[in-house]
Amino acid sequence: MSISAKTTALILLMGILLSFSAFFIQRSVIYPAFHDIEVDYAKDNIDRVIGRLEAQREIIDATVYDWTAWDDTYSFIRTGNPDYIASNLYPDTFLNFGFDVALFLNLAGEPVWGGVFDFSSEDGYVNLTETHLDGIVSAIGGYRERIDFGDSIENQSASGVVLVDEIPVLFAMRPIVRSDGTGPHAGYVVFGQFLRDGLIDRFSEQLVQDFSIEPVSESGGSEDPGDYTLDVIDQASLSASKIYSINGTPSLRATAIMPRNITELGREITQFGIVLLVLLCGFFAAALLLLFRRIVVKPIMSLRADISNISNGMDYSFRSSIRNNDEIGALSREFNSMLATIEANNMELLWLNTELTLKHQKVLEVQGDLQEANAELKRLSEHDPLTGLSNRLALEKKLKQAWEILCRTGDPLSVILVDIDFFKLYNDRYGHQKGDRCLKQVADILASAMQRKSDMAARYGGEEFLLVLPGTDAKDAIGVAASIREQIIAANIEHDRSPVAPFLTISIGISSIVPNGEIEMDSLVWTADKALYAVKGSGRNNFRYEPVCVAVESSSQLLG
């Protein structure tokens, strides 16, 4: 895997990890934080709703308070003065306040005058007194007992919500006192307001927050009136509800549905942030990769090409051209320094090699001379200098080798012992130098008679020669001897002092055997010598074969 590919993979991995981290942070930190803000916002909003309902109750209560401390004109409560009622209490009086319910009760809680209206109708008000008066009087009857006449006049109040025709009615009740706020109590004034959809919508507009209400039982269930109930409806909306309690009595549940703007906004912002992060990562990764290729990969590839050129061309005078002021530049400088060292070493090696070659040539020359000298030495050590035939030492070596080989192969070994007749007389007659030449002449004839490579002609003594013929049986050996004798005679070397003939003659002893371990090698030559002796004894210039026979008496015979 190339460095570029590794770097790309690393950057991509980092980008992926970064994106996952951002996603994780969004889910585990940012979203919960936005959600908390949203919950706080929802609580505030539902508190505002509850506050609005409470404010409305306070408005009703404040108006009731105004109406209860009137002075003694409330005598109509006690007297039920119809003129007063006719001149002061009529629907328009309460239309101005927006109160749908207005009751004047005597101390027994019975209505002296009461009116129930629906002011929400577009066709003017609808009088609902006959339908609902008794129901309302009955529903609020229990609240009179909650008013403590012994308490300060400000605190002598009871408020609540009662259901009239399934519609909640928010009301306030206070006892009628004199205008100076003192007793005796003459009865009760009750004002109330139907919490119809229209009114709730108006409150919603004022609060800029939609909400709904529903009645709750006075016990309010198991829910603590101070508790908020929050429900995430879906990704876009959240519901918050809370019980509205009046003087500790659960009265209404107000519920507001709120858009989850904060979470949505947070989600959009963080998602935008993540997309932006991924795009930026991609952009920076691409830029980083380009820079990396330019700053790192390109010089490395260039250095690699230089190294390849040098190793292919073996040209150590070449230098890398990278001059970067970084690690790759340092590498290039080290590489050039190494090349300089190699070049210098190469020069030295070349010089040493030339010297070595010269010395080697000299050694070869000396070796050649030595070989020649050795060969000459060997030749000299194995040959007779006068005749050029093998000497006695080489002869013995040859005999021994042949004997050992033929012992194994079972082939015959023949020897021919040649002696020049009356050679002392020859020397005496012709001089020693001529004697030498004569010896050489005889030796040449003997050498030429050796037809096999394994045959050997050796100078055995002064004028004695021994021919070794491995693999030649007696018959062939006798043939060779006869041929030699004839060649000597044919050479016609003058020897006028010889008692045998006027020319040089030779006497020959022949012996042959198939060598084996039980026979002494010397017996072969000894037998040939014996045959030679016999030839000399019988007049010379002849040859004789004598088989090697240790046990049986020799059956030698004179031939020719």
Ligand X SMILES: Nc1nc2c(ncn2[C@@H]2O[C@H](COP(=O)(O)OP(=O)(O)OP(=O)(O)O)[C@@H](O)[C@H]2O)c(=O)[nH]1
SS (H, E, C) 231-292: EECCCCEEEEEEEEEECCEEEEEEEEEEECHHHHHHHHHHHHHHHHHHHHHHHHHHHHHHHH
Judged by beta carbon, residue 144 or residue 429, the one nearer ligand X is 429
Neighbours of 366 (CB within 10 A): 11
> Which residues does residue 470 pair with via DSSP β-bridges, in sequence order?
413
Judged by beta carbon, residue 224 or residue 496, the one nearer ligand X is 496
Does 463 interact with ligand X (rule: CB under 6 A)? yes
Closest approach, Cβ 431 to ligand X, in A, equals 8
Tokens of 192: 């109330």
Tokens of 534: 């016999």
Judged by beta carbon, residue 124 or residue 462, the one nearer ligand X is 462
Judged by beta carbon, residue 85 or residue 489, the one nearer ligand X is 489
Pairing of strands 456-459, 249-259: unpaired
Tell me how far the alpha carbon of residue 117 is from its chain's centroid.
86
Q: Give the x-and-dash track for 337-376 against ligand X (CB under 6 A).
A: ----------------------------------------
Closest approach, Cβ 432 to ligand X, in A, equals 4
- Taking CB under 6 A as the criterion, the residue among 198, 462, 539, 560 binding ligand X is 462
Tell me how far the alpha carbon of residue 287 is from its chain's centroid.
25
Site size for ligand X (CB under 6 A): 16
Q: Give residues with Cβ within 8 angstroms of 395, minimum separation 6.
A: 456, 458, 460, 466, 468
Structural contact between residues 181 and 153, judged by C-beta atoms closer than 8 angstroms: yes
Closest approach, Cβ 426 to ligand X, in A, equals 8
Closest approach, Cβ 510 to ligand X, in A, equals 17
Q: Is residue 400 exposed (0-12), middle (13-18) or buried (19+ Cβ within 10 Å)?
A: exposed
Judged by beta carbon, residue 35 or residue 536, the one nearer ligand X is 536
Closest approach, Cβ 533 to ligand X, in A, equals 10
Judged by beta carbon, residue 306 or residue 419, the one nearer ligand X is 419
Where would I find the H helices in 26-128? Answer: 31-68, 75-79, 82-88, 91-95
Closest approach, Cβ 433 to ligand X, in A, equals 7
Closest approach, Cβ 461 to ligand X, in A, equals 8
Judged by beta carbon, residue 100 or residue 463, the one nearer ligand X is 463
Sites for ligand X among residues 396-455 (CB under 6 A): 419-425, 427, 432, 435-436, 439
> Which residues does residue 118 pair with via DSSP β-bridges, in sequence order?
126
Judged by beta carbon, residue 307 or residue 500, the one nearer ligand X is 500
Closest approach, Cβ 540 to ligand X, in A, equals 6
Pairing of strands 456-459, 464-470: antiparallel
Sites for ligand X among residues 526-545 (CB under 6 A): 536
Judged by beta carbon, residue 185 or residue 459, the one nearer ligand X is 459
Structural contact between residues 436 and 424, judged by C-beta atoms closer than 8 angstroms: no
Q: By Cβ distance, which residue is nearest to ligand X?
A: 435
Closest approach, Cβ 460 to ligand X, in A, equals 11
Phi and psi angles of residue 478, each rounded to the nearest 5 degrees, phi first:
-60, -40
Tokens of 109: 């809680």
Closest approach, Cβ 452 to ligand X, in A, equals 28
> CA–CA separation, 248 vs 190, rounded Å?
20
Handedness of CA 410, 411, 413, 414 (dihedral sign): positive
Closest approach, Cβ 373 to ligand X, in A, equals 26
Judged by beta carbon, residue 129 or residue 427, the one nearer ligand X is 427
Closest approach, Cβ 412 to ligand X, in A, equals 28
Nearest to 66 by CA among 92, 90, 99: 99
Judged by beta carbon, residue 147 or residue 425, the one nearer ligand X is 425
Distances (CA, A) of 355 to 300, 362, 366: 40, 10, 16
> CA–CA separation, 178 vs 184, rounded Å?
7
Q: Give residues with Cβ within 8 angstroms of 507, minimum separation 6.
A: 418, 419, 421, 532, 535, 536, 540, 541, 542, 543
Task: Kindly calculate the radius of gyration of the chain based on its CA atoms and give it in whole angstroms.
Answer: 75
Judged by beta carbon, residue 143 or residue 460, the one nearer ligand X is 460
Place of tokens 């239309």: 95
Judged by beta carbon, residue 402 or residue 416, the one nearer ligand X is 416
Closest approach, Cβ 391 to ligand X, in A, equals 13
Q: Site residues (CB under 6 A) for ligand X? A: 386, 419-425, 427, 432, 435-436, 439, 462-463, 536
